[in-house]
Amino acid sequence: MIILLGSCRPPVQSPDNLKQSDSPQLLAVHYAGGFEMTDVDTGILLTVRNPWQHSTGVEYRYLLSNRVQKSEIKSENFTIVKTPVTRIICLSTTHIGFIQFFHKASSIIGISGKDYVVNDSVRDGIAENRIFDVGYDENLNYELILRLRPDVVFAYGVNVSVTNTVRKLNELGIPVILIGEYLEQDPLGKMEWVKVFGACYGMGKTVSERFDSVTANYNQFKELASKEGQKPSVLLGLPWRGSWYVSGSKSYIARLISDAGGQYIWGNLNYNESVPVALEKIYENALTAEYWINPGEARSIIDVISVDERFKLLPALTSGKVFNNDRYMSASGGNGFYESGVTEPDIILSDLIYILHPHLLPSHNLKYYRKLQ
């Protein structure tokens, strides 16, 4: 039974019997489509919808409350999380970026995939055995997670199998919050998930104010680029294991290219996901591209050509306009673009504007991108 401090309220049994408060402005969600937050009389009701690819009609609800004595898993789809959380496990390095945004990385006690971490303080914690790698996917170390006693585990799923992970952790009495930022199409929507983390730490007001500041910067850069008459065409990606997966025009990266004043060469593909396209068809379109960004794991022009000799004939390559998002890397291969970049869409956008329209930001220094040599 949940005991509410200093009140005679009945224990919360269902999110449906929570009473909404009169001050919802702080909890407004403007860009993200995967979650909403409602101010209720006992805390914040967080609703996460369709948190993995191709999911429909899926809904998880969480009561984030500082008025309960302890967290409690009420059902498979409703969990009460006592806030503020102080000991957390992240199953994605992106979650580290969200938490670092409001300087709470010291609360991290477990991560998934230590080699992919970029944050210096977290890497120091791993080296000093203050932060532990708990494994990943089906190979999570549940015994270690139980021993670490986290207040909550932030998880993500690419398909429905993540429900097995959630169920196992719940059976151990460990609350899990599903984060679906990677499904957002809008760079600001992706970042807006930071509000979920802020609410868990009881820092909703601070996080919202900082989010608004980043949003203002982003929209200023977007407005600047929108006035450019020339829209350079942009090629994206690189074949992987013989297949070239092409992001649709509704994807996050396609939106960034558009906001930076570029023209994505696959603007006619009206979807969000990445799907394989025949190499011959891609090569035909690539001949029209002026710029080439995010060519996979290529670290040099030689790496690009080694994938297919025909690439050395592409205009973007012959004119030296190939850029990858691997400037901010850890020694072990972690990429800051996917970690801190999630809360710096304004900086990523300014990088792209500098690449496509250097005269608009002549004093800009690239943070996440670099020109391949």
**Tens-place pLDDT, residues 58-94:** 999 999 999 999 999 999 999 999 999 999 999 999 9
Q: Average pLDDT of 344-350?
A: 98
Q: Quote the pLDDT of residue 268.
A: 82
Q: Quote the pLDDT of residue 3.
A: 40
Q: Quote the pLDDT of residue 24.
A: 53
Q: Quote the pLDDT of residue 10.
A: 57
Please give the C-alpha separations between residue 147 and each of 91, 110, 112, 143, 261, in angstroms, as whole numbers: 16, 11, 16, 6, 50
Query: Is the pLDDT confidence value at 367 over 60?
Result: yes
Q: Average pLDDT of 244-251?
A: 86
Query: Is the pLDDT confidence value at 20 over 80?
Result: no
Q: Average pLDDT of 316-326?
A: 96
Q: What percent of the chain has pLDDT over 70?
A: 94
End-to-end CA gap in the chain: 63
Q: Average pLDDT of 290-310?
A: 93
Phi-psi region of 57 (alpha: psi -120 to 50; beta: other; left: phi over 0): left
Point out the least confidently predicted range of 17-31, 120-134, 234-248: 17-31
Could you give the maximum distance between any two Cα atoms of the chain, in Å?
74
Extended strands (E) in 66-193:
72-75, 78-82, 88-90, 108-111, 132-133, 152-155, 176-178
Q: Quote the pLDDT of residue 12.
A: 66
pLDDT band at residue 273, thresholds of 50, 70 and 90? confident
Q: Quote the pLDDT of residue 277.
A: 82
Q: Quote the pLDDT of residue 281.
A: 82
Task: In whole angstroms, give the CA distance from residue 149 to residue 34.
Answer: 28
Q: Quote the pLDDT of residue 244.
A: 85
